[in-house]
Structure 1
């Protein structure tokens, strides 16, 4: 099986931008025959550092899944009301404009490759809910009506669920609940006769529920609602680790078999991957993949790629 890889989270550029190191990293990624494509971060322009470099170094055969979460979090750092679910109209409109920019970035990439290379655009239900900021299903519904009216040049829209706001729990994202997201997407699909879906990130669901049962619950919920389109496996831990305790740090998986790279105390075990995949039909998902970061972030290019290969090895074994 081939996978979507959140390669940006493991890249040398997460430490510092070095064009030569990044090119070497992409060359090694292109040599992996089990990578279907990459999850690509949208931060307000096509590439965080250099659009031309990106276009020159990608594999034209790759499938691209855009994720808005890096750009959403960057915007929230400056404007806590930012988000498509925001009840603050200025914050909601700022998010609408952000996704308009994402649409243009997709057009630029597709034009360069001469095809619809971007299969999905992941959107997120910001803002972080707090005493000063709030969101609603109605605001999300209004935003989706606008966003879905645009030409996305072949990309399907998904809501990627992040950890929801839980009272008296410190959030990583603190966005809308999966129940609210599913309810809104179901309503908008009926109203507009469209086929929007949702995706689940294993680590973020574990962080929300403080449990390995969270990802299973969320996968089942999305699958039973007929909205589950993809799963990305990132780890998390309830222990005090270099990756933090219940932090959205894309922790590598736990040790299993003979994989050379893993993270101690990661809750993302081969057993949990298997249990998660038992609650959906893998063959009918649009994508399955993984995304990991490194802490400390000091690995060589080859070691970074080996971390990715280690996770994909576990996915292979779990699926088979």
Structure 2
């Protein structure tokens, strides 16, 4: 099995080249999930192999732009907020083209159905339809599901409900085929319901609807941990990984259950955070290697 790794929450403040060279020695890794910020993306990481693939996620920039403007979002019913989000994705598009111009293989981009509150499925579909009209080449435009609003509780993201996103993407698949799809992030599905079974259920439903394009493993906990408050979306490692909080709900059995639900079609990857201080570069690489082993089933 070959994996896309969101390494940016785990990388050290310095020694980036050493870190990515170490990660390149892990056979299961075939590429990186790269973050796109509120005003742009970073250069290809020093030390990362030129032949690796990339999946670009817009979640860091989406959350920061949403924090500055409550109407911002591709699903916004506010015309100005939706236009701002489309301009943001236009910048992401230019970033993808720049990476591809350097010879990088950008498999996909991951977009999100902000804002909260007030995300509207019809507006989200209109935004995605416009975005799919741009020239992406072989790069796929994917929706990554985040937790939806839930009665009686404060959400982490609070974007569109899963069923509405599935229907939006399914309707677009009918028009443009596999150029569009849906990505399930384990933690973001579990945070939504507080039930570890939800991730596999979402995966199975997306696959049944013909929209499943990717699965990213990232953990969460009902307890306060060094990563933050209970149910924070902070990319906790699986509980079997050295140094992981004992309350992390992501584990080997859950990973294998989700892989069985996903089948062989979607890309598979993971994203875990690690403390910024107190770990050597080799410690970081070793913990990402342990995540790879859990997913590979060894």
TM-score (normalised: structure 2): 0.94
Note the 1:8-157 alignment, pairs <5 A. Answer: 8-13=8-13, 18=14, 21-43=15-37, 44-47=39-42, 51=43, 54=44, 56-113=46-103, 117-129=105-117, 134-157=118-141
Give the alignment's Cα RMSD to 1 decimal: 1.7
Runs of 4+ in 1 over 6 A off after TM superposition: none
2:161 is matched with 177
Q: Compute the displacement of 1:292 (Å).
A: 0.3
Answer with 146-155 or 293-302: which moved more.
293-302
1:275 is matched with 257
Give the number of equivalent residue pairs.
296
Q: Compute the displacement of 1:298 (Å).
A: 3.3
Answer with 103-112 or 296-305: which moved more.
296-305
Structure 1 CA distance for aligned equivalents of residues 156 and 278 of structure 2: 24
Matching of residue 253 in structure 1 with residue 235 in structure 2:
no
TM-score (normalised: structure 1): 0.88
Given the alignment, which residue of 283, 294, 297 partners 1:314? 294
1:262 is matched with 244
Note if contact 1:237-1:247 (Cα within 8 Å) is conserved in structure 2: yes
SS at match of 1:73: helix
Note if contact 1:236-1:249 (Cα within 8 Å) is conserved in structure 2: yes
Structure 1 CA distance for aligned equivalents of residues 87 and 276 of structure 2: 35
Answer with 297-306 or 59-68: which moved more.
297-306
Matching of residue 222 in structure 1 with residue 206 in structure 2:
yes
Q: Compute the displacement of 1:46 (Å).
A: 2.6
Runs of 5+ in structure 1 lacking a partner?
A: none
Note if contact 1:106-1:153 (Cα within 8 Å) is conserved in structure 2: no
CA offsets 1:11-54 (integer angstroms, 9 cap, x no match)? 124xxxx3xx112212212222211100000113231xxx3xx3
SS at match of 1:119: strand
The verdict on how the C-alpha distance between 1:33 and 1:223 changes in structure 2, with shifts beyond 3 A counting, is same
Note if contact 2:17-2:45 (Cα within 8 Å) is conserved in structure 1: no
SS at match of 2:183: strand
Note if contact 2:10-2:276 (Cα within 8 Å) is conserved in structure 1: no
1:6 is matched with 6
Structure 2 CA distance for aligned equivalents of residues 109 and 207 of structure 1: 33
SS at match of 2:40: coil
Runs of 5+ in structure 2 lacking a partner?
A: none
Answer with 142-151 or 239-248: which moved more.
239-248
Q: Compute the displacement of 1:195 (Å).
A: 3.9
Q: Compute the displacement of 1:191 (Å).
A: 4.1
